[in-house]
Amino acid sequence: MNMMIDRLCRVAARVPARAAAVVTGRVLRYDGLVLEATGFPASPGTLCRVATETGPAAEAEVIGFANGKTLLFLDQPKAAVIAGAEVRVIPGGQETDVGPEVLGRVLDAKGAPLDDLPAPDCAASWPLGGITMNPLKRTPVERPLDVGVRVLNAALTVGQGQRIGIVAGSGVGKSVLMEMMARYTSAEVVVIGLIGERAREVGHFAHRLMHGEAAKKVCMIAVPADRSPLLRLRGARRATAVAEYFRAQGKQVLLMIDSLTRVAHAQREIGLALGEPPTAKGYPPSVVSLIPSLIERAGPGLPGEGAITAIYTVLADGDDTTNDPVVDTARAILDGHFVLSRRQTQMGIYPAVDVTQSVSRVMNDIVDPDHRRAAVRLKQLISIWMDNRDLMLMGGYVAGQDADLDTAVRLWPKIRAFLAQDMDEPSDFMASRQALIDLVGGAA
């Protein structure tokens, strides 16, 4: 019996292994962006290679099905695709390679290097769509995260695992604030997703940040504005997947996506191309579901894991922070928001964080009572001074009529110095806390 089994094993070893099945389809319709192919087994998110009439094959992603046909969105609009062209599934398109090798690197939405270095050789992988966790098993947000920015550490303390939005119009210092946090944070890993930004700004950001010791803990995923909407979405998901991997390794991760609005714009392009009805400001319903599904992937991990502290920039058209559906949806799901004020930039206060309009929903749970009282007092003094600034400039206020206003006027030069911080000047959490208490200690 044993001899027979050995003989069968030797025979089986000589039989060539069957190659993995090749899944293909044929192009039926193509309008320059959306492609219809004969039905073939592939789930949404699967990457495919589409033969072209001239040049290399184009890549596309499966986005859905209709009437027995497979719908795909091309990465390269206006590619030279002809009717009947072969569509071939690319294995592994729904995962991303992850590992310590991605730190210190600048990658694109597909994981290819943009920094002229060899592609990172990673041994692990992670689903682009993330891994769903039981919300009741997640660890709570209990400790502050030092982000290196004085006004945030002191007056709007960030917790490990908190999700925050930076709400602002254009040109008020979002990128500079992100750079400061990336360079000075105490987080062990920093993942930055530059989604839909100008190519010049991507290059400038990478040039300033990706050098020296600080760059060794940073992974940057960059997808400029001229890339297809699917690549922009894939870039945001890839950045989040990298952050999830390091969280599972027990690391404290700072994830920054700039910007959530341009991620929503990418989904809007795809939704409208698929025939979804536009709603407020032209956003289809899929945008409203995309934002929470992306944000909820961040946050604390399970016991024994780390946490992803996530910061998403949200563009407010015309500085309107109240009537934009992306702003409203993000603000409803996030654990706080920082509003950047154009008025403060005009006053020369950088970073231009409007303390009175901003809120950290976890701050009261992670700071001591003295710190909490000092932060509340600072907001009161800033609000009083801003509300009465024009009245004082016109000479309509006489000292002694309002004790709080008198205090705000007396302390304003020190408050202004406290709010302002040079981008090359770090301020750790304990120093920021003490500076705040020293500032308002006698103003209670």
Q: What is the mean pLDDT of residues 398-403?
A: 81
Please check the confidence at residue 368 and state whether its pLDDT lies above 90: yes
* Position 17 confidence tier, pLDDT thresholds 50, 70, 90: very low
Label residue 33 by pLDDT band (50, 70, 90). Answer: confident
> Regarding beta strands 189-195 and 218-223, do their DSSP bridges make them parallel or antiparallel, or are they unpaired?
parallel
The residue written with tokens 């039981």 in the block is 134
pLDDT, mean of residues 187-203: 93
Task: State how far the Cα of 83 lies from the Cα of 127, in Å rounded to an integer.
Answer: 33
| Alpha carbon distances (Å) from 340 to 7, 80, 124, 149, 441 | 75, 45, 39, 14, 26
C-alpha to C-alpha distance for 3 and 123, rounded to whole angstroms: 40
Q: Are 247 and 253 in contact (CB under 8 A)?
A: yes
Residue 444 has pLDDT above 50, yes or no: yes
Task: Report the range of poorest mean pLDDT among 71-80, 113-122, 388-397.
Answer: 388-397
Distance, CA of 356 to CA of 385 (rounded, Å):
11
19 or 242: which leads in pLDDT: 242
With cut-offs at 50, 70 and 90, classify the pLDDT of residue 11: very low
pTM of the model: 0.90
- Determine what percent of the chain is predicted with pLDDT higher than 90: 61
SS3 56: coil
Give the mean pLDDT of 1-23: 52
Helix (H) or strand (E) holding 50: strand 47-50
Supply the pLDDT for residue 321.
63
In this predicted structure, what is the pLDDT of residue 192? 97
Token digits of residue 290? 């995309």
Least-confidence region, from 94-103, 301-310, 311-320, 421-430: 311-320
Mean pLDDT comparison of 36-40, 173-177, 371-375, highest-scoring range: 371-375
Residue 14 has pLDDT above 70, yes or no: no
Distances, alpha carbon 189 to alpha carbons 159, 181, 185, 342, 353, in Å: 15, 12, 9, 31, 24
Beta strands in 259-370 (DSSP E): 299-300, 307-315, 336-339, 359-360
**pLDDT for residue 71 is more than 70:** yes
Average pLDDT of span 260-267: 94
User: Minimum mean pLDDT among 8-22, 27-41, 152-166, 382-396: which range?
Assistant: 8-22
> 132-174 pLDDT, tens per residue?
999 999 999 999 999 999 999 999 999 999 999 999 888 888 9
Evaluate whether 221 touches 107 at the Cβ level (below 8 Å): yes
Q: How far apart, in whole angstroms, are the C-alpha atoms of residue 290 and residue 330?
A: 11
With pLDDT > 70 as the criterion, what percentage of the chain qualifies? 93
pLDDT single digits (tens) 427-441: 999 999 999 999 998
Higher-scoring residue by pLDDT: 422, 444: 422
Range with lowest mean pLDDT among 38-42, 381-385, 404-408: 38-42
> 140-154, 171-185, 331-345, 388-402 — which one is most confidently predicted on average?
140-154
For position 319, what pLDDT does the model report? 60
pLDDT (0 to 100) of residue 151:
97
Q: Tell which wins on pLDDT, 181 or 396.
A: 181
Write down the pLDDT at residue 15: 44
In this structure, what are the phi and psi dihedrals at residue 403, rounded to the nearest 5 degrees?
-65, -40
- Under 8 Å between Cβ of 158 and 152: yes
User: Mean pLDDT of all residues in the chain?
Assistant: 89
Q: Which of 250-259, 344-353, 386-395 bottoms out in mean pLDDT, i.e. has the lowest?
A: 386-395
- The pLDDT score that the predictor gives to residue 322 is 64
Instruction: Answer yes or no: is pLDDT of 20 > 50.
Output: no
CA dihedral 201, 235, 232, 315 (to 10 degrees): -60
